[in-house]
Structure 1
């Protein structure tokens, strides 16, 4: 086990003086359900297959110090962590992290040792460090995506000239059937960056809303493994940058 963890960049040992005793990482409960067809020995999945509830995480620590030290530590940790959206990075698993809301509890039974528990209600999926790939004058690319679960991505376009219509294939799909769907952007201007953000669910051009010039049903996502992407312009090409965070169950 590593020496501790980072919570929004602050380390539990070096910043708070906490010694890690144990980690509990729960398995998120699936929302899938199986129901029997009336009068038949057949069961079907009627729930949300592949959709999960939140993941419980508990970190248990102790800390040496007297009662005054304990009270100071409570104030410090509570101000930074309690009730906050937290990015949790474990020393034992560098490059991966969890997001969630944290809570803090603590007990002190004597003037020497203090017990601290930091618990989180986290997103069901674990994330890895972001990956960015830039394609100059892009026309097509097979992108090998890390992770084991579909992940939203951010697509940035920088046109080399004016473009009436620009189409992206392979980066969006029907959530029910899984069939690929096109993403089309109209009226692009030379040098003005267009960002199709599958995480924030926005489309902007140089920071201004450009959703009205977008034709799509779903924001872009990538699947684990090979993703065949094609980029078609009505005139000149774009430089394309694709960013994503690998996700793991």
Structure 2
């Protein structure tokens, strides 16, 4: 059997004695592509990135096949409980062997059957194309699952600005418009353009955190919290 998975905070192995039956549950998302035929010409024009400026993706499918080792006399009640918890619900899925990220999408339970000593069932997730960092830049860091070799600690809360303060955000494949919570009188310079920031919540649609290092320069006096959560394929 393969590692366990946690869905909406429920460890499937601990709760249902249900490890995964297959290691590879997650398939890559399909690329959204658009080609315009050229009348009277060879080939076609690739317009896939014309509107977005980057590759975009369809939702991906996650198929988790479980073997449930609950006693046979508990199987009917267990199936009902599994259906109540997961069928048709939105699921936050964390794999034991990839604990720094989660997938999210709409779930369906299927293919359940009881055999001599165990039962089997499948949970399919129609998931968003990216997997998301488990902890956002404003949430308390979780040291237990942290990978000191590959993990990235983001701590962008209550940053004190007295004059000028620079913040470099390592961006991911999923482009993000961050939300900034401001107290005091501040402005933001991003990619050579300066934006005034109001007290309270700010979401500037021209400030997009892209893959690579993104430099935000805050000027003034006050505090700012930048809410950011990266996503990768």
Sort the TM-score into its range (normalised by shorter chain).
0.7 to 0.9
- 2:11 is the counterpart of 1:11: yes
Normalised by the length of structure 1, the TM-score is 0.73
Change in Cα spacing, 1:106 to 1:43, as seen in structure 2 (3 Å) is closer
Structure 1 position 248 matched with structure 2 position 228: no
Which residue of 2 is the match for residue 175 of structure 1?
none
Q: Which residue of 2 aligns with 1:96?
A: 101
Contact 1:59 1:118 in 2 (8 A): yes
Alpha-carbon distance, 1:103 to partner = 0.8
Query: Paired residues, what number?
Result: 208
TM-fit CA distance, 1:146: 4.6
C-alpha RMSD of matched pairs (Å)? 2.5
1:183, distance to aligned residue in structure 2 (A):
4.2
Structure with a larger share of its residues in strand: 1
The runs of 5 or more residues in structure 2 that have no matched partner are: 138-154
- TM-score if structure 2 supplies the norm length? 0.78
Q: Which runs of 5+ in 1 are unaligned?
A: 171-178, 189-193, 198-215
**In structure 1, what is the equivalent of residue 85 of structure 2?**
80
2:168 to 134, 143, 146: 143
**1:222 and 2:209 equivalent?**
yes
Deviation at 1:181, TM superposition (A): 6.1
Match for residue 44 of structure 1?
45
User: Would the alpha carbon gap of residues 16 and 110 (structure 1) be closer, same or farther in structure 2, given more than 3 Å must change?
Assistant: closer
SS of residue paired to 1:221: coil
**Structure 1 residue 67, shift from structure 2 partner:** 4.6
Which of residues 183, 196, 202 in structure 2 aligns to 1:184?
196
State the shift of 1:27 in Å. 1.5
